[in-house]
Amino acid sequence: MVHNLSILGSTGSIGTQTLDVVDKLGLKVVALAAYRNIELLEVQIRKYRPQLVAVYDEFRAKQLRDNIKDTDTQVLSGMDGLIAAATIESAELVVNAVVGMVGLQPTLAAAQAKKDIALANKETLVAGGDLVTDAVRENGVRLLPVDSEHSAIFQCLQGAPKNKALKKLILTASGGPFFGKTTEELRNVTVMEALRHPNWSMGAKITIDSATMMNKGLEIIEAARLFDVSGDDIDVVVHRESIIHSLVEYDDNSVIAQLGVPDMRIPIQYAVTYPERYESPTAELNLAQIAKMTFFEPDYETFRCLNACKKALAMGGAATAIANGANEEANQLFRDGKIRFLDIGELVTGAVDSIENFIPHTVEDVLNADHLARQYVKDKVSCGI
Ligand code: MG
């Protein structure tokens, strides 16, 4: 098991749960990075005494520097700070739990610095695509999934035969708070309603992505990239109870599933301790108490982001970065009360359909695709969609 961790996004939902795992396993934290929550970051600094912390927001970094003058922790800022935290010499594993595309450069830098990466930041893999998978392969590092579905598939693939004999991957989806609702019923839903996830406690961005099912669309792309599987061989099934976290179907029609209570500390811990397993701070699964599990086809007509992502994956090139960028912008605009819930699906679909696709060769190309998609959304919204 690795002992020294760098945690990017340490004040977010995955970051704080990673620190629970750190506490349970008695690991050491050598670097932390956060966006702007310096109050919680200071508490973490005083508890874990990391060598280095990065605060993305320059002004907040300056404030923190003053507040922790009495410690030995160095405070850096901006993208340079994030990259420094991702590449710090003493880290054996970098947990990337930042939200959004901003995680791309730190992920690439960590791979180039020969660090194993536990990836919770799916947007990086969706937008970065081959750039990320190539960097991981060329540097011989591990890219360990933290996303619960991908951790499940990764676990189901342990012991797979050499030729893999994979027929398909089956991603489970909770369906979010709006499962079963019609387009008409979703026309006027509020941010508060969309933030009410039935099973998982997560950050705001991913909770909205879960309500639109964009999250599952991103996860289809993430699975294709992580496990080198075509989008046609990835199915989605709505499973309301979130007990089966995903499944793998082999050529002999045997289907292997991974189950557990819906608690992110299970997949986080597996990524950190892989391939070993240790006691965990989570609850045990009690099947008799759960009593029944249900499964449904997803509603592709109402939740348009799913098809937009499938289409982007099939198109390849910059299309997945475009889908992701349009969604990051639209998701934020919805949370800010600037657009309606259903606009998100329309904007993501529109961006994938109308922005000219190209092959990104560099990080700058990916950032450009992201920029084009965000601009498309802003332009549409300013003309009243
Ligand atoms: Mg997930």
Both tokens of 148, joined, read: 């619960």
How many A from CA of 270 to the centre of ligand 1? 15
Residue 2 has pLDDT above 90, yes or no: no
Give dist(CA 74, CA 32) in Å, integer: 11
Dist. CA 4 → ligand 1 center (Å): 25
Per-residue model confidence as pLDDT tens digits over 165-224: 999 999 999 999 999 999 999 999 999 999 987 787 788 999 999 999 999 999 999 999
166-168-174 Cα angle (round to 5): 140
Q: Ligand 1 mean position to 245 CA, how many Å?
A: 8
At 94 the pLDDT is 98
Phi-psi region at 277: left, alpha or beta (left = phi > 0; alpha = psi -120 to 50) = beta
d(CA 173, CA 261): 14
How far, in Å, is the centroid of ligand 1 from the Cα of 149? 5
Predicted local distance difference test score (pLDDT) of residue 200: 76
Residues 272-287 have a mean pLDDT of: 96
Strands 4-8, 93-96: pairing is parallel
| 337 C-alpha to ligand 1 centroid (Å) | 25
CA distances from 323 to 37, 111, 232, 345 (A): 28, 25, 18, 10
- For residue 312 the two structure tokens come to 């982007």
What is the structure's pLDDT at 157?
97
Q: What distance in angstroms lies between residue 201's CA and the mean position of ligand 1's atoms?
A: 12
Ligand 1: centre distance to CA 332 (Å): 19
Q: How many residues does the chain have?
A: 385
How much distance in Å is there from the Cα of 65 to the middle of ligand 1?
35
pLDDT in tens, 350-384: 999 999 999 999 999 999 999 999 999 999 999 98
Q: What is the pTM of this model?
A: 0.95
Residue 200 CA, ligand 1 centroid: distance in Å: 10
The phi-psi region of residue 323 (left if phi > 0; otherwise alpha if psi is between -120 and 50; otherwise beta) is alpha
What digits encode the pLDDT tens for the residues 56-98? 999 999 999 999 999 999 999 999 999 999 999 999 999 999 9
CA of 62 to the centre of ligand 1 (A): 34
Nearest alpha carbon to residue 154 among 130, 118, 201 = 118
Task: Indicate if the alpha-carbon torsion angle 276, 282, 286, 292 is positive or negative.
Answer: negative
Cα of 59 vs centre of ligand 1, distance in Å, is 32
46 alpha carbon to ligand 1 midpoint, in Å? 31
C-alpha 147 to ligand 1 mean position (Å): 5
Q: How far is the CA of 223 from the centre of ligand 1 (A)?
A: 10
How much of the chain exceeds pLDDT 70, in percent? 100
- Which residues, in sequence order, are bridge partners of residue 96? 8, 119
Q: What is the rounded CA–CA span in Å between residue 294 and residue 197?
A: 17
How far is CA 219 from each of CA 88, 131, 354, rounded to the nearest angstrom? 29, 18, 23
What pLDDT shows up at residue 164?
A: 83
Closest by CA to 190, choosing from 6, 377, 333, 334, is 334
Q: State in Å, rounded, how far the first CA of the chain is from the last one.
A: 51
- Counting other chains too, the contacts that 273-276 makes at CB distance below 8 Å and 24 or more residues apart are 273/1, 273/25, 274/142, 274/144, 275/158, 276/1
68 CA distance to ligand 1 middle (Å): 35
pLDDT in the model for residue 111: 98
Q: CA separation (Å) from 294 to 200, 290, 335, 337?
A: 17, 11, 30, 34
CA of 157 to the centre of ligand 1 (A): 17
Reply yes or no on whether the pLDDT at 119 is more than 90: yes
